[in-house]
């Protein structure tokens, strides 16, 4: 659990920053509303099921060679090509949700991508990101002013955008509209952890490590979900997600 403590510290800092932000910037109360909340929640199960099936196939079907290649890319210099491929991959991950939104005629504001509380969200994300950089010891200017770091950050913004748009933006908004703010928040935090199980299993971690990872992912979902409840905007969470992935081990 010790190697996961920095993540927990950063996640708690995001909660603290959100609380403090309410005294610094005027935060409008997020409004979650659909004409038929139950139907929207049930419809949300369709792209979620597609996501679960695809991630299970991709990660559990990955070969040792593919894992070796991925590890090699992680160790060597990252290129613009790597970043672009990651962006396309994450766009594909969000595609079922995007198509569902188009069919349902729903705009970006229904997944927390709008102007409401944009400034407060970005300030929370930036503040907690500075905590992450300090906690993970990534204060070296040489690290931040390198092309490798820039390309990795671009790639991780894609990861953060797809995951935040799916879990906090799309799923939490719809399940909260149906089940209530608290139950929707708790449910999506649990779903976040469960969806990541195939990825963790593919990496070959032990049962104990998997259990710890699931606990941390639930905490992650609760912290980010709570910030979403308060602000209704995912912009800052996208940036924080990207920075945590970038500076974390």
Q: In terms of residue numbers, what domain contains 100?
A: 36-59+77-247
Q: What is the pLDDT along the chain (249 residues), one digit of tens a residue?
A: 567 899 999 999 999 999 999 888 889 888 778 989 999 999 999 999 999 998 888 776 654 444 443 444 455 689 999 999 999 999 999 999 999 999 999 999 999 999 999 999 999 999 999 999 999 999 999 999 999 999 999 999 999 999 999 999 999 999 999 999 999 999 999 999 999 988 887 777 888 889 999 999 999 999 999 999 999 999 999 999 999 999 998
Q: Within a domain: residue 182?
A: yes
Overall number of domains in the chain: 1
User: What per-residue confidence (pLDDT) applies to 10?
Assistant: 97
Which of 9, 114, 6, 100 is closest to 51 using CA atoms?
100
User: What per-residue confidence (pLDDT) applies to 3?
Assistant: 79
Q: Within a domain: residue 4?
A: no
Q: Are 93 and 165 in contact (CB under 8 A)?
A: no
Q: Within a domain: residue 5?
A: no
Q: Within a domain: residue 92?
A: yes
User: What per-residue confidence (pLDDT) applies to 80?
Assistant: 93
Output the CA angle 47-184-30, nearest 5 degrees.
100
Structure-token match 């992680």, residue found: 74
Q: Structure tokens of 151?
A: 């390309």
Q: Within a domain: residue 30?
A: no
Q: Within a domain: residue 184?
A: yes
Instruction: Note the pLDDT tens digit of each residue in 198-221.
Output: 888 777 788 888 999 999 999 999
Helix (H, G, I), strand (E, B) or coil at 205: coil
CA–CA gap between residue 247 and residue 101 (Å, rounded) = 33
- Establish how many alpha carbons lie within 13 A of residue 94's alpha carbon, considering only the half-sphere containing its beta carbon: 23
Q: Within a domain: residue 22?
A: no
CA–CA gap between residue 151 and residue 153 (Å, rounded) = 5
List, in sequence order, the alpha helices (H) in 25-117: 37-60, 64-75, 80-103
User: What per-residue confidence (pLDDT) applies to 44?
Assistant: 97
Sign of the torsion angle spanned by Cα atoms 151, 153, 158, 159:
positive
Model confidence, pTM: 0.92
Helix (H, G, I), strand (E, B) or coil at 131: helix
User: What per-residue confidence (pLDDT) applies to 199?
Assistant: 80
**Buried b / exposed e across 100-127, counting CB within 10 Å, b at 16+?**
bbeeeebeeebbbbeebbbbbbbbbbeb
CA–CA gap between residue 204 and residue 207 (Å, rounded) = 9
DSSP state of 164: I
Q: Within a domain: residue 237?
A: yes
Instruction: Note the pLDDT tens digit of each residue in 85-126.
Output: 999 999 999 999 999 999 999 999 999 999 999 999 999 999
């Amino acid at each position: 659990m010790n190697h996961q403590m920095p993540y927990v510290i950063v996640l708690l800092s995001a909660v603290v920053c959100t609380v403090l932000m309410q005294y610094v910037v005027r935060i409008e109360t997020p409004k979650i509303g659909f004409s038929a909340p139950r139907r929207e929640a049930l419809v949300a199960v369709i792209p979620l099921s597609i996501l679960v099936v695809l991630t299970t196939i991709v990660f559990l079907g990955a070969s040792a060679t593919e894992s070796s290649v991925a590890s090699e890319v992680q160790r060597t210099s990252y290129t613009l090509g790597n970043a672009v491929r990651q962006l396309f991959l994450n766009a594909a991950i969000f595609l079922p949700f995007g198509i569902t939104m188009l069919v349902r005629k729903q705009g970006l504001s229904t997944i927390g991508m709008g102007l409401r509380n944009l400034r407060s969200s970005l300030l929370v994300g930036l503040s907690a990101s500075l905590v992450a950089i300090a906690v993970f010891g990534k204060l070296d200017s040489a690290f931040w002013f390198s092309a490798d770091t820039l390309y990795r950050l671009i790639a991780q913004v894609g990861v953060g955008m797809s995951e935040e748009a799916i879990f906090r933006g799309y799923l939490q908004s719809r399940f909260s509209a149906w089940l209530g703010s608290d139950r929707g928040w708790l449910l999506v935090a649990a779903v976040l952890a469960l969806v990541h199980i195939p990825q963790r299993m593919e990496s070959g971690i032990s049962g104990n490590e998997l259990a710890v990872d699931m606990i941390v992912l639930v905490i992650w979902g609760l912290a980010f979900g709570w910030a979403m409840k308060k602000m209704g905007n995912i912009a800052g969470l996208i940036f924080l997600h990207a920075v945590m992935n970038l500076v974390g081990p």
